[in-house]
Amino acid sequence: MDQSATQAVTETNDRAVAEAAPTALRSDHRAPDRLVLQRGIFTGPSAKINDELYAVVTRGRAQRGRLTLRLDKGATVHTNTYFGRFAAAYWQRWTTVTEVQVTLVLDVAAAARLRLVASDIAGHRRIVDSIEVSASGPVSLGAKLDQYVDGGALWVEADAVGGALGITELTWSAAAPERMRPVAIAICTFNRAADCAETVAALASDPAVLAAIDAVYVVDQGTDLVEERPRYREVRPVLGEKLRYIRQPNLGGAGGFTRGLYEVSAVNEHADVILMDDDILCEPETVLRLNAFANLTVEPTLVGAQMLFLLNPDYLNVGAEEVHLDRLMHGQKVAKALRNTSMLKKNQERRVDAGYNAWWTCLIPAEVVAKIGLPLPIFFQWDDVEYGVRAREHGFVTVTLPNAAVWHADFYWKDYDDWARYFSTRNSLIVGALHTDLDGRKIGRQLFRNIAEQLVAMQYGLVHTTLQGIEDFLRGPTILRDGGIEALAQARGQRADYPETIKHPAATPPVPAAQIAVQRASGEPSRALLVLIKRAIGQWTGRTRPGLVGITREDAYWWHVSLFDHVVVTDASQSGVRIRQRDKARARALLIRTLRVLRRLRRELPALQEQYRAAAPELTSRENWERLYGIRR
């Protein structure tokens, strides 16, 4: 960003800071007698979403609206679906709720049968309440939450008997707390203006959700401005006084989301902030469910939404995640949690407890910010992990709530060989150093193994990016002084020196296309280390298969790619190809650099851990973030 642009952002930023927070955010609100925990939704926010994620018509025909359903005579429907279920196990374990009531407003032509059904940890079905109805109007079913600690859910079944049946409202409710906590949405965006505008519009589209939230902060760090998009301007009057738009320099996801936490926690010490990605497909009902759950937890709790895949919208990413700090591995599936599972075919019966929740959509109470400070200025990657780990160390748990989700870009459509690997490597070491006693020898061996696999796969740019991350970790906490702006430029810029990092059109690669012969992989080796040594020797001595070889994304394992010396590999995004070619001189230089860097890491790790831990309070302070934001008080 040039000097004039930076000055413009700073001036705009100062005006935004001076603007008072929305009035509704400044105080707690009186609660109704009963709090709506979730609503019956019958169709999704987009035509690409399967309606059977919401309700399934098992017999006959039905006409769906967003909040209404009309069954023809003889039809049957159930809500034993992803968004239709009530996660009884989670509500019993983490909240003060002891009973739940389901209220339906019916339009009955002749008669209807309604059942409130429960499952247990094994998915066994049992009816807990039922009623036969012959007149239109509201009816209620109820259940105690006293048999669901380890697992189980509730749902509704309805039969249209003798005539049509209309469901014009379906709500799950419980006794409300005395006061309702204010809640704000904070959306971080960088040059995804159209996506962000649609996310804001989704929040504005639902009157109940709009009434429940007190503020929406859009933190724009880009040059393609959200405020200039027609869609944003169209919905701005709907949000009215609740909408706040802030511009600031690009400080990554960490800087954007932290701005929301910074602004809201300064206004009300009992407010909640729902962090939300800009490029999701937003299910507004998820906001209502997270907010209701957070208002009824026994203690202030981080409440996360689950992630469904945007390109494969029936599929759940993972039921709950944890981190293995000693191995620098995040995104690890909690035991017994579902992963990459079609939610049309399977439900999550078992309660699984999360170690943290990613920030595609996650609610954070102001009490957490008051006690543990703001996130680390590590730009992006591992910022959400670190904050969840730090919160747990201070007694705040994270609950990843089933049946509350947004759709986010599928991770496996993103290529691993990317500049983001710099931040992932560097930040994993920083978070590990802060929150566990890393074993330098063990970590060194693990990193060497990873780099060795990348070298034999001819991913020299990826090795360079990984080493950049380790080398900058070795520089100590001063690398975080600017919030990641310089690191971003270097990580992206230097990759251009490595030809295999460049993506080419599949139809016109800079190699003779007619000579590309696709070679499929055989099974994964049973003795991977021995195969790695063998492949390394082959690459080093040139005992590789000659000719130009094409390799599909699904076969692009190191143990297959390393058989060849010139390969055309499909990019994970399926939008092009990358070309890798054996380069012994480059591999040798990177290997020597790797050995030197890992030797330093083993030697200096104990002192670095002390340095990062000593610097953490200042790095996560409001004063440090004010400096990064350019806020003048």
pLDDT per residue as tens digits for the range 256-313: 999 999 999 999 888 999 999 999 999 999 999 999 999 999 999 999 999 999 999 9
Return the DSSP state at 572.
T
Do 540 and 467 touch, CB atoms closer than 8 A? no
Contact 352, 321 (CB under 8 A): no
Q: Give the residues across from 139 on adjacent strands.
A: 104
**Helix or strand or coil: residue 99?**
strand
The single residue of 272, 278, 384, 472 carrying the catalytic annotation is 384
Question: What are 431-444's pLDDT values in tens digits?
Answer: 999 999 999 999 99
Give the whole-number percent of the chain exceeding pLDDT 70: 97
pLDDT tens-place string over residues 538-568:
999 999 999 899 999 999 999 999 999 999 9
Phi, psi angle pair for 158, to nearest 5° = -140, 140
pLDDT by residue (tens digit) across 139-178? Answer: 999 999 999 999 999 999 999 999 999 999 999 999 999 9
Tokens representing 233 are 């301007």
Catalytic, 384? Answer yes
Q: What is the DSSP string of 522-567?
A: -PPPSSHHHHHHHHHHHHHHT-SB-S-EEE-GGG--HHHHTTBSEE
Per-residue pLDDT tens over the stretch 520-543: 998 889 999 999 999 999 999 999
Helix (H, G, I), strand (E, B) or coil at 215: strand
Retrieve residue 218's tokens: 């859009």
Q: Is the pTM of this model over 0.75?
A: yes
- Contacts of 607-612 with C-beta under 8 Å, sequence gap 24+, read 608/433, 608/473, 608/474, 608/476, 609/433, 609/434, 609/437, 609/438, 611/476, 611/477, 612/430, 612/433, 612/434, 612/476, 612/477
**Which of 532, 553, 555, 535 minimizes the C-alpha distance to 544?**
535
* Cα separation, 188 vs 198, whole angstroms: 13
Strand 154-161 and strand 76-78: pairing?
A: antiparallel
Q: 337-355: buried (b, 16+ CB within 10 Å) or exposed (e) per residue?
A: bbeebebeeebbbbbbbbb
d(CA 84, CA 134): 25
